[in-house]
A = this chain, B = another copy of it.
Amino acid sequence: MEETKVKNKRLERKEETRRRILEVAKELFLKHGYDEVSIRKIADKLAISPTTIYLYYKDKGDVIYALHQEGFKSLAMQFDVLRNVDEPFERLKAMGRIYIKFALDNPDFYELMFIMKEPIDFVNRSCASEWEEGGAAFGALVNTVADCQNKGYFSSIELHAMALYIWSTIHGICSLKLQGHLDHVVKEHLPNQENTSTLESAFNTLISVIKGIK
């Protein structure tokens, strides 16, 4: 009976080391951005050998994927307050605002979660069909859109097409902003406009557009 206890102790320690590696990876990631996260730098900060990390994560993509998952958990937490918003269209609006705020507050995480290819390729390779975190996020949007339709909003449009369309618009504006593709357009075509207000005006346009659909 002792041997299982010891084995558990070992598994715990192993899990703890895994966690510590991820913690440092996350710290470097948030402080210096993705490009600055190298296996060697993570190892240096932990005062371990670079190769040790490969005993806990298959490769760098695996580490990145773990951060990717953390991001989705974090976003889900932000979404948690939506349970207090009963009116579906208000909930949809709040959802959009939280999503945008998350993107602006955590640009590196957003890049990891919705822009970069590597982590999502890892998902598509590993877990063939189910992917809880990602499915839940889009599922929450679909549910809210369905609730809106039950209240008469944009009920003429197919549910999933509508959800995807909303996500596309908000992701589009966030990704253009975060990747630096708005700076020039704003400078040339929308002077005397502040940085964040461009996002807001695009979001408000979306809201007022879909609000009118019967």
Q: A residues bordering B, Cβ < 8 Å?
A: 114-117, 120-121, 123-124, 129-131, 134-135, 138-139, 142, 154, 157-158, 160-165, 167-173, 175-176, 179-185, 187-190, 198, 201-202, 204-206, 208-210, 212-213
**B164 to A173, Cβ gap below 8 A?**
yes
Roughly how many angstroms separate A208 CA and B198 CA in the complex, as a whole number?
24
Asked if A120 and B184 sit within 8 Å, CB to CB, the answer is yes
Given B179, B189, B202, which contacts A165 in the complex, CB threshold below 8 Å? B202
A156 to chain B, nearest CB (A): 8
Assess whether A188 is in contact with B135, with CB atoms less than 8 Å apart.
yes
Apart from A114-B181, A164-B201, A172-B173: 19 A-B pairs, beta carbons within 8 A: A120-B179, A120-B184, A121-B180, A124-B180, A124-B183, A129-B187, A157-B205, A164-B182, A164-B202, A165-B205, A165-B206, A167-B172, A167-B176, A168-B169, A168-B172, A169-B169, A171-B176, A209-B209, A212-B213
Q: How far is the CA of A213 from the CA of B214 in the complex (A)?
A: 11
- Among the listed B116, B139, B208, which residue makes an inter-chain contact with A179, where contact means beta carbons less than 8 Å apart? B116
A175 x B180 contact (CB < 8 A): no
Instruction: Give the distance in Å from the alpha carbon of A187 to the alpha carbon of B124 in the complex.
Output: 11
Evaluate contact between A189 and B212: CB separation under 8 angstroms: no
Q: Are A176 and B180 in contact (CB under 8 A)?
A: no
Question: Across the interface, which residues of B come within 8 angstroms of A134, CB to CB?
Answer: 184-185
